[in-house]
Amino acid sequence: MIQFAWPWLAFALPLPVIYRYLIPAGEAVRGAALRVPFLQELTRPGAYDGLRRRRWPLWLAAVAWLLIVAAGSRPEWLGDPIEIPVTGRDIMMAVDLSESMSEKDFRIRGEWVNRLTATKWVATDFIERREGDRLGLILFGQRAYLQTPLTFDLTTVRELLVESQIGLAGRATAIGDAIGLGVKRLRERPEGQRVLILLTDGANTAGEVDPLQAAELAATEGLKIYTIGIGAEEKLVRGLFGTNRINPSADLDEKTLQAIATQTGGRYFRARDTAQLEEIYRLLDQLEPVEQDPKTFRPVKALFYWPLGGALMLAAILFIGHIRVRA
């Protein structure tokens, strides 16, 4: 069906008539008869027919004004209702941006990259598959910040994650604050639909909230937390006396991450390389959705360009006719 978004613009239709009667006409020029070279022709039969034919520009102008008002009223075509796929999951992602995430112990297509780059590589694909879910993004370092509230706009969430940089939220790691912020943002959502995915490569070294206390609060609020410990367990480093093997994830507090997941009914994952990280996100895809009442929307297609195009065409005809008369 067709509807008008701004139907009140129809009150502008009588404006030309109002203008005609409110604005006084110009005074008649005295002696105008002396300037009419075809005065004698008016006495011939059919002379007035030509004058009547000259009224067609007035009718075209009236139709053009009608089309302009119609275009300004924003006519729209309202389509049939379409159901929106809604699974009912409200997922908040918390990503560590501390200085340790700059460690290059992941490989993508044969090239060594840092942990944040690997996280972006895998998480962006995970985000694109979240159709029907509401997704939010928390970035944390020394402090935790809400980068994106819960939204169906997955493109924005993905872009803001890609644009994030190491050290943006500080060099330290505030895991407890990130969990607390997640609890705050998901508290108003229906119980059983609240999920927090927390990814970090270290231990809690900053913040005002202890991670286990934050996890206890999350469990009370019905928030399920999936924790991901990221970082390789072995890395070869060349030195003056040869190649040494080091553990770049020595600071990873797996015990605390496991306790957080267990206390909230979630699960702890260990990502030592890109393949394991991808597998973790595939497992997270299997989160059991909670059904909600289906939501629908009706697509709207703008139609204003049709009457506007007609008005411009009539204006062009009037302009050409005016030029021909003067010529």
Residue showing tokens 């060099």: 171
Condensed to tens digits (0 to 9), the pLDDT of residues 7-61 reads 898 888 888 888 777 876 655 555 444 454 544 544 455 544 554 556 777 888 8
Residue showing tokens 């595939």: 282
| Distances 317 to 248, 270, 311, 314, 323 between C-alpha atoms, Å | 77, 73, 10, 5, 10
Query: Could you give the domains of the chain?
Result: 2-21+36-80+298-326 (no CATH), 85-284 (3.40.50.410)
Q: How many CB atoms lie within 10 A of CB 296?
A: 9
∠ CA 317-323-24, rounded to 5°: 85
Residue 87 has pLDDT above 90, yes or no: no
24-33, 107-116, 138-147, 179-188 — which is least confidently predicted? Answer: 24-33
Q: Give 295's strand partners.
A: 84
- Put simply, whether the predicted model's pTM sits higher than 0.85 gets the answer no
Nearest to 221 by CA among 263, 174, 254: 263
Q: What is the mean pLDDT of residues 115-124?
A: 88
269 exposure class (CB count in 10 Å sphere: 0-12, 13-18, 19+): buried
Q: What are phi and psi of 44, to 5 degrees?
A: -75, 150
Q: What is the pLDDT of residue 326?
A: 64
5-14, 92-101, 277-286, 301-310 — which is least confidently predicted? Answer: 277-286
Q: How far is residue 203's CA from residue 105's CA, in Å, rounded to a whole number?
A: 18
